[in-house]
A and B are shown apart, each in its own frame.
Chain A
Amino acid sequence: MEPLILKQKSRRASGIGITPDMDLILVNLIDGLVTGLLLFMLSAGLTLIFSMMGVLNFAHASFYMLGAYFAFQISLYIGFWMGLLIAPLVVGVLGAGVERYGLRRVHQYGHVPELIFTFGLALLIEEVVQFIWGKNQMPYATPEILQFTAFSIAGNSIPAYKIFMIFISIAIFIGLLYVLTRTRVGMIIQAALTYPKTVEALGHNVPLIFMGVFGVGTALAGVAGVIAGPVLGTFPGMAFVLGSIVFVTIVIGGLGSLWGALVASLLIGWITTFSKAYNLRMEDLLTWAGFTKPEPIWDSAWRDLWSITSPQIADILPYILMVLILIFRPYGLFGKRDA
């Protein structure tokens, strides 16, 4: 009995019973999870749209931005929560409209015009947002009810809003998975993805399904915008900052795979968070690999390579990962088709 009690005591003494280093790892795991899940909400819609229409929607991140701006505008009048409810709907309807009256018309001319159409749309949306709201960052804030520290781990506070973000995104993932795999609608969608002609012959309205999926995909991006706007900033550059990384995510995960999008998002979230949180130095890595540091270092051609630290390259690591994936597994982690 004695030793067991002792153990419990020491556990209480150090907070939740893990060493400070472990504490920080836990905190970074949570932070990475938040980043990853946010990325997932964006890439889920994009990957669905891609597997459906075979078109990369360059304007996807722009719908994310629209979500944030709409929610900000709505929150000024009727509060954050109504914004969370209404803004994604508006974005979804807008997205469906883009599919119905834009993409569907361009579709007959082939993929390249479709790509150019979405690319132009992204530029257009950015200009429109700047025209209406200006170029400054909007004072879009987290709701007061969530402005407290949920808990803290060794002095690192985890804001309640982050926990809220985690729950919202997990709920959306589960909901999406349920709809796609367990309901009739989901089955028709999945069938329409692979055999659109057959599904149409069976009497289903495939164009309507396409429009619906596009609408839902953009609405998801809208949700991501609504909940990311207050923490990551609501400004005209927000789509640009996130735009390319979303494509990287779905390429790594495998185009068209929901699970792939989830795994790749979390992977990217954790990789970038951890490489920013810890100062790994290229110098140590090279020394460990058996290279000797050229002296004097400031005169060497390898100066830049030797002085790299992990926070500096954290944001390009996902791109390196993408290149590796494309070389060794071109269809992505969970992809089915040979790209």
Chain B
Amino acid sequence: MRTTTMLGLTTALTLAASAFAAGADTIKIAFIDPLSGPFAGTGTNGLHQYEFAAEELVNKKGGVLDGDMFEIVAFDNKISPKESLIQLQVAIDQGIRYIAQGNSSGVANALTEAINKHNRRNPEDRVLFLNYSAVDPALTNDKCNFWHFRFDANADIKMDALTDSIVSNDAIEKVYIIGQDYSFGKAVAAAAVKYLGEKAPEIEIVGNELHPIGKVKDFTPYSRKIVASEADAVITGNWGADMVGLGKSVLENGFTGPIYTYYAAADGITAAFGDAGVGSLRLVAEGQLNPPPNDTASGYIQAFKAKYPDGNLSQARITNVIEMLAKAINEAGTADDVVPVAYALAGMEHESLWGGNLMMRESDHQLIQNVHIMEHTDDVVYDHDNSGFGVKVVKTVEMAAADSPTSCKMRRP
């Protein structure tokens, strides 16, 4: 008995010592997103979720490889593609190999192109692009490349689930589509038109328009048009301050139907809507908070809220990014050379913290996962913005769009 204890103790000590010796290494992940300006709220919350996920899911469990720790390094891109490219260069110059970005597909499009070019020209310090939120379908289709991985369901996949929900609601005969004027807003509109046309040609699209992103002060004229069009439902991909502005204005000016959204939760949005959004706001998203999927998830949410009382676990997929990256680095046996890491990530299957399976599709690096339709309600266990309101899953599409086609032709090293 005693010998076993001694043996165990010695082994533990040796292990700890060796971990110490090699553990001086940190694996840095550059977080390039808006930390100032109109979308700073969204960016900062994302950063906190990354830091927490890295700490909780990797570092506290002993890190990756032989004790290497994850470190999130924040870069403010002010939501500008130009600024993002500068920050990308700074990150690469600091020897960072992993780039996480999510807010705005405009930025993601610029980054993926720049990273592709950089990796081709500098095979000795290649980087991987972990896209956790930018959902322009082109990123995993025409503009796909080996270095880009998308962890959110893309706009097409989400729209597929969302239009299913619209079609199953007989009260909806007229639909109004409105979004921000850039690649993502256009992708949402195109997908809505396409899927509604295929699934329910009898549903009339009474409006389809774009507004400048982050620049509209008052959404009243837009809501007037929506009300005047007698639409039964509104579809929008708006996020951040644009979501609150549009949603509140539409509801204030007399619209009573459902508003189908991509991002109308957390970051102050849930609190800003409060009671007004109940019965109207619907969300299509991954990651289930309510009803709580399992005890691990509940524990994770509580721990996060204990550390960031004012924060929100609004982007459940961030834990998937961190867990899958850690797994891929362990499988590859290195964090410095991203090629084997990318090969390990491609095709990886993983069980999500939030329930359900994840599969990183090899053909286009699009993560296939469960997609939920959620409702803004006060009937929740874990609220957003400490407002008493939150989002609750009302419908789930298992492994959504697992066999959807892709036009991606990837060149692998």
Among A51-106, those with CB < 8 Å from B are: none
Select A135's contact among B40, B222, B387, beta carbons within 8 Å: B40
A136 CA / B312 CA spacing, docked (Å): 11
Select A159's contact among B39, B43, B218, B253, beta carbons within 8 Å: B253
> Is B215 part of the contact surface with A, judged by Cβ < 8 Å?
yes
**Does the CB pair A156–B253 fall under 8 Å?**
yes
Select A136's contact among B41, B209, B252, B274, beta carbons within 8 Å: B41
Given contacts A157-B254, A235-B268, contact A35 B40 (CB under 8 A): no
> Is A186 part of the contact surface with B, judged by Cβ < 8 Å?
no
CB distance from A106 to the nearest CB of B (A): 26
Chain A residue contacts of B268, Cβ below 8 A: 136-139, 235
> Is B152 part of the contact surface with A, judged by Cβ < 8 Å?
no
A134 CA / B43 CA spacing, docked (Å): 12
Q: Which residue of B lies closest to A24 (CB)?
A: B228
**Does the CB pair A137–B267 fall under 8 Å?**
yes
**Does the CB pair A315–B212 fall under 8 Å?**
yes
**Does the CB pair A35–B218 fall under 8 Å?**
yes
> Is B211 part of the contact surface with A, judged by Cβ < 8 Å?
yes
Interface string of B183-214 (1 = CB under 8 A from A): 00000000000000000000000000111101
> Is B220 part of the contact surface with A, judged by Cβ < 8 Å?
yes
Select A27's contact among B37, B41, B224, beta carbons within 8 Å: B224
Q: Which residue of B lies closest to A230 (CB)?
A: B248
> Is A233 part of the contact surface with B, judged by Cβ < 8 Å?
yes
**Does the CB pair A277–B225 fall under 8 Å?**
yes
A141 CA / B274 CA spacing, docked (Å): 10
> Is B301 part of the contact surface with A, judged by Cβ < 8 Å?
no
A24 CA / B220 CA spacing, docked (Å): 12
**Count of interface residues, chain A, beta-carbon cutoff 8 Å:** 42
Select A139's contact among B210, B228, B249, B387, beta carbons within 8 Å: B387
Q: Which residue of B lies closest to A39 (CB)?
A: B217
> Is B272 part of the contact surface with A, judged by Cβ < 8 Å?
yes
Given contacts A155-B228, A155-B254, A156-B228, contact A240 B217 (CB under 8 A): no
A277 CA / B45 CA spacing, docked (Å): 34
Chain B residue contacts of A28, Cβ below 8 A: 221, 224
Given contacts A139-B387, A156-B224, A156-B253, contact A242 B41 (CB under 8 A): no
> Is A112 part of the contact surface with B, judged by Cβ < 8 Å?
no
> Is A329 part of the contact surface with B, judged by Cβ < 8 Å?
no
Interface string of B157-194 (1 = CB under 8 A from A): 00000000000000000000000010000000000000
CB distance from B330 to the nearest CB of A (A): 35
**Does the CB pair A311–B310 fall under 8 Å?**
no
Other than the given A277-B225, A311-B210, A315-B217, 20 more pairs (CB < 8 A) read A31-B218, A31-B221, A34-B220, A136-B41, A137-B267, A156-B228, A157-B227, A159-B253, A232-B245, A233-B241, A235-B241, A236-B41, A237-B38, A237-B40, A237-B241, A241-B217, A276-B222, A309-B209, A312-B212, A314-B221
- Closest A-B pairs by Cβ, 9 of them: A237-B38, A136-B268, A137-B268, A276-B221, A157-B254, A139-B271, A135-B41, A135-B40, A136-B41
Residues of A within 8 A of B (CB): 24, 27-28, 31, 34-35, 130, 134-139, 141, 149, 152, 154-157, 159, 231-233, 235-237, 240-242, 245, 272-274, 276-277, 279, 309, 311-312, 314-315
Residues of B within 8 A of A (CB): 36-41, 43-45, 181, 209-212, 214-218, 220-222, 224-225, 227-228, 230, 241, 244-245, 248-249, 252-254, 267-269, 271-272, 274, 310, 385, 387
Q: What are 27 A-B pairs at a CB distance below 8 A?
A: A31-B218, A31-B224, A34-B218, A35-B217, A134-B310, A135-B40, A135-B44, A136-B267, A136-B271, A137-B272, A152-B254, A157-B227, A157-B254, A231-B249, A233-B248, A235-B268, A236-B40, A237-B39, A237-B40, A274-B221, A276-B225, A279-B209, A311-B211, A312-B181, A314-B221, A315-B215, A315-B217
